[in-house]
Amino acid sequence: MLGFEGADVSVSLFEKYGGFAKVSKIVMAFYDSLLDSDLLAEYFEGSDMRRLIDHQTKFIASLMGGPASYTNEALHQIHAHLDISPEAFEEMALILEQTLEDFDFDPDDTAHIINEIRRREPFVVRHARS
């Protein structure tokens, strides 16, 4: 995108898709689908969903270039007690992909976000114990 005097002005996906207000709507729809999943619903039993949606909104925003960040160590600490299986992670990624498509994300933008999610799988999924 060209700005003043031909300067390259990059717009983050976070800005392109409407900031926190839009990301929050996406995350709420995402969680509606997660809670409908036979495989995933149990992970959320007893969770404070408002708090979880707030954190997930910030996390997804960060993947889109928004003003939030989560370290891989923080992701590991947050998820370690959940014993998340590779199959559950994969289903979550597919549901997120479908949700982004439902919100008319450009396929390249969806692929970027899903790739960013998949890069963090080792910090979310349970690891075999040696």
* 4-18 confidence digits (pLDDT tens): 555 446 899 999 999
What per-residue confidence (pLDDT) applies to 5? 55
Query: Where along the chain do its domains lie?
Result: 4-123
Q: What are phi and psi of 8, to 5 degrees?
A: -80, 120
pLDDT of residue 44: 93
CATH match for 4-123 among 1.10.490.10, 3.40.640.10, 1.10.760.10, 3.10.129.10: 1.10.490.10
121 Cβ contact list (under 8 Å, min separation 6) = 86, 89
Task: Read off the pTM.
Answer: 0.87
pLDDT at 129: 41
Averaged confidence pLDDT in the chain: 90
For the chain, give the percent of residues with pLDDT over 90: 82
